Amino acid sequence: MKNLQMYIGGEWKDSLSGQRIDVKNPSNGEVIATIPRGTKEDVDEAVQAAQKAFRSEAWRKVKPHERGDLLQAIADKLEANRDELAKLESLDVGKPLKQGYADVDAAIRYFRFYGGAADKLMGDTIPIEDGLLDFVVREPIGVTAHIVPWNYPIQIISRSVAAAIATGNTVVVKSAEDTPMTAMKLTEYFDELGLPKGVFNHVTGYGYEAGAALSSHPGVNHVTFTGSVQTGIAVAQAAAANVVPVTLELGGKSPNIVFADCDIEQTLEGVVRAIIQNAGQTCSAGSRLLVEASFKEGFLAKLKERFAQLTIGPGLEDKDIGPILNEKQFRRVMEFIELAKEEAEIVAGGKQVTIEGSEGGFYIEPTIIDNVNPESRLAQEEIFGPVMTVFTFETTDEALELANSTEYGLVAGVWTKNIDKAHYLASRIDAGQVFVNNYGAGGGIQMPFGGYKKSGFGREKGFIALYNYTQVKNVAVKYGI
Q: For 295-322, how does the pLDDT look when each residue is reduced to its tens digit (9 = 90+)?
A: 999 999 999 999 999 999 999 999 999 9
Active-site pick, 249, 292, 365, 382 = 249
Query: Residue 381 — pLDDT band, cuts 50, 70, 90?
Result: very high
Q: Is the pLDDT of residue 129 over 70?
A: yes
Residue 3's pLDDT is what? 95
Which architecture, in CATH terms, is 2-250+458-475?
3-Layer(aba) Sandwich (3.40)
Question: Percentage of residues in the chain with pLDDT exceeding 90?
Answer: 98
Compute and round to an integer the Cα radius of gyration of the chain. Answer: 23
Rounded Cα distance, 292 and 336, in Å: 25
Backbone angles phi, psi at 171, to 5 degrees: -130, 150
Residue 440's pLDDT is what? 84
Which strands sit side by side in the sheet containing 11-13, from one edge to the other?
11-13, 6-8, 200-203, 170-174, 143-147, 222-226, 246-249, 456-457
Q: Is the pLDDT of residue 379 over 70?
A: yes
Q: Is the pLDDT of residue 443 over 90?
A: no
Residue 442's pLDDT is what? 63
Residue 481's pLDDT is what? 74
Rounded Cα distance, 8 and 20, in Å: 17
Question: Is 375 within 8 Å of 284 (Cβ atoms)?
Answer: no
Residue 474's pLDDT is what? 98
Rounded Cα distance, 474 and 19, in Å: 48
Q: Which residues of 279-316 are buried (b: 16+ CB within 10 A; e: fewer)?
A: bbbbbbbbbbbbbbeebbeebbeebeebbeebebbbbb
- Taking the whole predicted model, whether its pTM rises above 0.75 is answered as yes
**Matching CATH number, 255-444, of 3.40.309.10, 2.70.240.10, 3.40.50.1480, 3.40.50.300:** 3.40.309.10
Residue 187's pLDDT is what? 98
Residue 372's pLDDT is what? 97
Active site residue 249: yes
Cα 357–Cα 358–Cα 361 angle in degrees, nearest 5: 165
Question: Is 251 within 8 Å of 232 (Cβ atoms)?
Answer: no
Query: Residue 455 — pLDDT band, cuts 50, 70, 90?
Result: very high
Percent of the chain as helix, strand, coil, to the nearest 5: 40, 25, 35
Question: Is 195 within 8 Å of 70 (Cβ atoms)?
Answer: yes
Rounded Cα distance, 310 and 303, in Å: 11
Rounded Cα distance, 186 and 89, in Å: 12
- Residues of the chain within CATH 3.40.605.10 domain(s) are 2-250+458-475
Q: Is the pLDDT of residue 80 over 80?
A: yes
The kind and range of the H/E element at 143 are strand 143-147
Q: Which residues of 164-200 are buried (b: 16+ CB within 10 A; e: fewer)?
A: bbbbbbbbbbbbbbbbbbbbbbbbebbeeeebbbbbb
Residue 316's pLDDT is what? 97
Rounded Cα distance, 36 and 4, in Å: 7
Q: What is the mean pLDDT of residues 168-181?
A: 98
Q: Is the pLDDT of residue 334 over 70?
A: yes
Q: Is the pLDDT of residue 466 over 80?
A: yes
Q: Is the pLDDT of residue 1 over 80?
A: no
Amino acid making up residue 474? N
| Alpha-carbon torsion (374, 377, 378, 381), positive or negative | positive
Q: Which residues of 326-455 form beta strands (DSSP E)?
A: 345-348, 352-353, 363-364, 367-370, 387-393, 408-409, 411-415, 433-436, 452-453
Q: What is the pLDDT of residues 26-57, one digit of tens each?
A: 999 999 999 999 999 999 999 999 999 999 99
Distance of CA 437 to the CA centre of its chain: 22
Residue 444's pLDDT is what? 84
Question: Is 258 within 8 Å of 292 (Cβ atoms)?
Answer: yes
- Residues of the chain within CATH 3.40.309.10 domain(s) are 255-444
Question: Is 189 within 8 Å of 154 (Cβ atoms)?
Answer: no
Those residues whose C-beta lies under 8 Å from the C-beta of residue 99, and which sit 6 or more positions away, are 90, 277, 278
Q: What is the mean pLDDT of residues 438-460?
A: 91
Q: What is the mean pLDDT of residues 457-463?
A: 96
Strand partners, 291: 258, 392
